Structure 1
Amino acid sequence: MELLAAYAPWQIGAALVAALGSAYVRGLTGFGMAILLVPILALALPPVEAVLLANFLSLFIGLSEAKRLVRGAEKTAWRIAGLVVLFTPLGLYGLSVTSADLARFLIAMIALSAFLAVLLPKRSGAEPGAVATGGVGVLSGLMTGYAGMPGPPVVPYYVGRDIPRETAKTSMMLIFTIASFAGLVSGAALGLLAWRLPLLAALLFPAVLIGNRLGDLSSGKIGDTLWRAAVGVILGGAALAALVRLV
């Protein structure tokens, strides 16, 4: 517990509330945990710590659902995840040399970009070409490292297509789990990983489990149209909240 003494009680409390709420959204929509969690954590913690803490929590919850994700994900998820692993270190390095204020601003802009992207017209369920899939992987890797948010390119790639909801959810979750692992490995390699972070993540994880379970139960009670509307509302709310906090 001495390692956690570096955090004030209000910081831990804010992290608990953010973890519970963002995990509920993950269970409901298949994404959104990092998009909601990182901007809030970055107000209470240094941005690098906020990103790495979100990576720990995303990895923990993803591993708890590994069988479901591997079984249900689309093949494109593996290709995107491979590119995420390659490009995450570059994004994390960029974050490490950016001032805290600028990093918070850019993280807010990334959250806004996710909302705008999901408003694009819905496409067919056919798998996009190699260029589009590769572009999503590269951008997602850079955003994983810089903001702990692989979602902005990934969410419209799956949610914007006419594919089963479970396929979209498990594909996104698989990518996010692998992305979080890549972020942690990159952080350790760059000497940015403080050992108190996994302890704080372990403290927050029960809240993540509870929130994720509640969100998953809620997801089973709503139709696809309402689910897609929830995706847009959540992304828009996250972007607005991040911008308001900057002001």
Structure 2
Amino acid sequence: MDMLTPFAWGLALTIALFAGVVKGSVGFALPLIMISGLSSFLDPKLALAGILVSVLATNGWQVTRQGYAPARAAAILHWRYLVIVMVAIFLAAQLVTAIPSQVFYFILGVPVVGLSLLQLSGVVLHIPAHRRVAAEWGIGLISGLLGGLAGTWGPTTVLYLLAIDTPKARQMVVQGVIYGAGAIVLVLAHLRSGILNGETIWFSAALLPAALIGMAVGFRLQDRMDQALFKKVTLVVLVVAGVNLIRKGLMG
């Protein structure tokens, strides 16, 4: 970390700022943007460590922005998803130093792009009420595994929330709760795995102010969107994020 040039520091802070803007606007994608941007010029393990403090703090802000009552209600409503995501993140994170993440990027990217493009073309994906319990367990497991191995569990979570017709305000709270709980586990897991240590934590903390400034800007943009525009912007972000995941899966 001491070897980073001023240019590398500037680039890292710019990436964190942009990731914060997107996070504030649609409620997710900060880990995706930061990990893909940072790993393009940093060691992948340092890049993964670099996102952790920002992921934890921005999700904490997101989940408390509308008060604790909506957050508590969201946690109760989606407790199954929360439980399986946290367990899967912790277990999968222990394998991050042993398993190449490229295959997981590719496996995640293809369905994210495909499903998002389908919805942008007018096809409505809907999970009926009687299938939601099974969907929470199944999609939560997939999200947690990808979160532990690749540092991101946002795209599959967002697709699930869109498929159950979650209103914008509630979706922001639910995403914050799910990502916040997962972020706590992810940080603890990578303290155990060694990715986050006495040296890398300072790099991670240094990126936080830029991410928070970006998020404040993003919140202002999000407040001006109606439900239809919010969904469309969310799907566009998912497509871009998915394409980047596929790129990382193919090229490393």
Is the Cα–Cα contact under 8 Å of residues 147 and 153 in structure 2 kept in the other structure? yes
Equivalent-residue separation in structure 2 for 1:139 and 1:17 (angstroms): 30
Q: Retained in 1: the 8 A contact 2:49–2:204?
A: no
Across the aligned residues of Structure 1 and Structure 2, the Cα RMSD in angstroms comes to 2.5
8 Å Cα contact 2:62-2:172 kept in structure 1: no
Q: 1:113 aligns with which of 111, 117, 135?
A: 111
Which residue of 175, 200, 203 corresponds with 1:200? 203
Decide which moves more: 74-83 or 34-43. Answer: 74-83
1:43-192 pair list within 5 angstroms: 43-67=40-64, 68=66, 70-73=68-71, 74=74, 75-98=76-99, 102-104=100-102, 106-107=104-105, 109-118=107-116, 119=118, 121-123=124-126, 126=129, 128-192=131-195
1:123-179, Cα deviation, whole Å (9 max, x unpaired): 278585322111122112111111110112211111233221111111011111111
Distance 1:199 1:109 in 2: 32
**Aligned equivalents of 1:33 and 1:116: distance in 2?**
21
Q: Could you tell me which of 4, 7, 12 is aligned with 2:9? A: 12
Change (3 A) 1:5 1:207: same
CA offsets 1:9-50 (integer angstroms, 9 cap, x no match): 343222211111111111111111112221122222332332
1:240 has 2:243 as partner? yes
Measure, in 1, the Cα distance between the counterparts of 2:25 and 2:154.
15
* Aligned residue pair count: 241
- Opposite residue 194 of structure 2, the aligned amino acid is G
8 Å contact kept, 2:109–2:245: yes
Please give the TM-score of this superposition, normalised by the length of structure 1: 0.85
Q: Gaps spanning 5+ residues in structure 1: where?
A: none
* CA separation of 1:45 and 1:89: change in aligned 2, threshold 3 A: farther
Deviation at 1:62, TM superposition (A): 2.2
Give the letter aligned to residue 147 of structure 1.
A
Stretches of 4+ moved more than 6 A in 1?
none
The residue identity in structure 2 corresponding to 1:71 is A
Q: Distance in 2 between matches of 1:223 and 1:197?
A: 40
Give the secondary structure class of the aligned counterpart of 2:152.
coil
Identity percentage of aligned residues:
22
| In structure 2, distance between residues paired with 1:15 and 1:113 | 29
Q: Read off the aligned partner of 1:193 and give its amino acid letter.
A: L
Greater mean deviation of Cα atoms: 7-16 or 38-47: 7-16
Distance in 1 (alpha carbons) for counterparts of 2:125 and 2:164: 6
Between the aligned partners of 1:127 and 1:216, the Cα distance in structure 2 is 34
Q: Does the residue aligned with 1:129 lie in a helix, a strand or coil?
A: helix
Q: 1:221 to 1:66 in 2, by over 3 A?
A: closer
Long gaps (5+) in structure 2: none
Q: Distance in 1 between matches of 2:67 and 2:98?
A: 34
Q: Is the 8 A contact 1:109 1:239 kept in 2?
A: no
Q: Report the secondary structure of 1:97's partner residue.
A: coil
TM-score of the pair, normalised by structure 2: 0.84
Query: Quick one: which amino acid aligns to residue 138 of structure 1?
Result: L
Partner of 1:229: 232
